[in-house]
Amino acid sequence: MGIVSHDHFQGQVAIVTGAGQGIGFEIVKALCEHGASVVLNDLDKDLAQRAADKIDRQGFNCVAMAGDVSEPGFIAEMVNTTVERFGKLTMIVANAGITKFGSFLEYPAESLQQVLQLNLVGSFLFAQAAARQMVKQESGGSIVFMSSVTGHQAHKDLVVYGMTKAALEMLAKGLVVELSEHKISINAIAPGATLTERTLEDPNYVATWSRLTPTGRPGEVQDIANAALFLLSPASRQITGQTIVVDGGWSCVSPSPY
């Protein structure tokens, strides 16, 4: 038996945002395989439903709920619907986020607001709504934010995105002060180069990041899901306010892809 066992997630209920594909989908699948009931959120209704159906066909308990997790009203609805359906909420992964590339001197205010609203404000409000429910239940819980190595090392044309990801890591630290007494842990994961549907649109992605990453390969979505399972499980019960960097050692040496 591994450090994270199937028993850890039996009877647990999670929400994972931005989970129609890529890292979010893999986290949902891993949680379901380990016995949790999961609400799979994505902005794209069809994508969310296809993803949930794919997991359900394997005999697991996954429900799609499409909507914009930068909107406070939808966040409240999603948490309330989860509790009505499953009776509680014990884990969340705030995975939804957007990237809008652009140089600092020419970056439009509209793009700035969009990235801040989803990556930072949406994650804050989602964690707040979930934590309120966990406090009400008096049974503790786990919150995981999805950061990025761009919150640790500067990247060309990603100053705004990196700024939001660094802020999420500070948010995880700050919430330790207020939520630890309620037995709620708060951590973050900072993926490096990872193979997803989006990154594989670049035909040079694998070759470039295999060359730049000390382990000789970019990450896979399973690598990030494994970190999420650990942080959401009792195996990490004394870990809170921390960020796990999953980047194959790239941020230790930080060679630029440009």
Q: How far is 115 from 129, CA to CA, in rounded Å?
A: 20
Contacts 24+ apart (CB under 8 A), 163-167: 164/97, 164/115, 164/116, 164/119, 164/120, 165/119, 165/190, 167/120
Phi, psi (degrees; rounded to nearest 5) at 203: -65, -20
Task: Verify whether residue 156 is a known catalytic residue.
Answer: no
Q: How far is 197 from 205, CA to CA, in rounded Å?
A: 11
Q: Which of 148, 185, 233, 236 is catalytic?
A: 148
Task: Verify whether residue 165 is a known catalytic residue.
Answer: yes
Q: How far is 126 from 132, CA to CA, in rounded Å?
A: 10
Q: Which of 29, 37, 123, 161 is catalytic?
A: 161
Task: Verify whether residue 37 is a known catalytic residue.
Answer: no
Q: Which of 29, 165, 205, 236 is catalytic?
A: 165
Catalytic site positions: 148, 161, 165
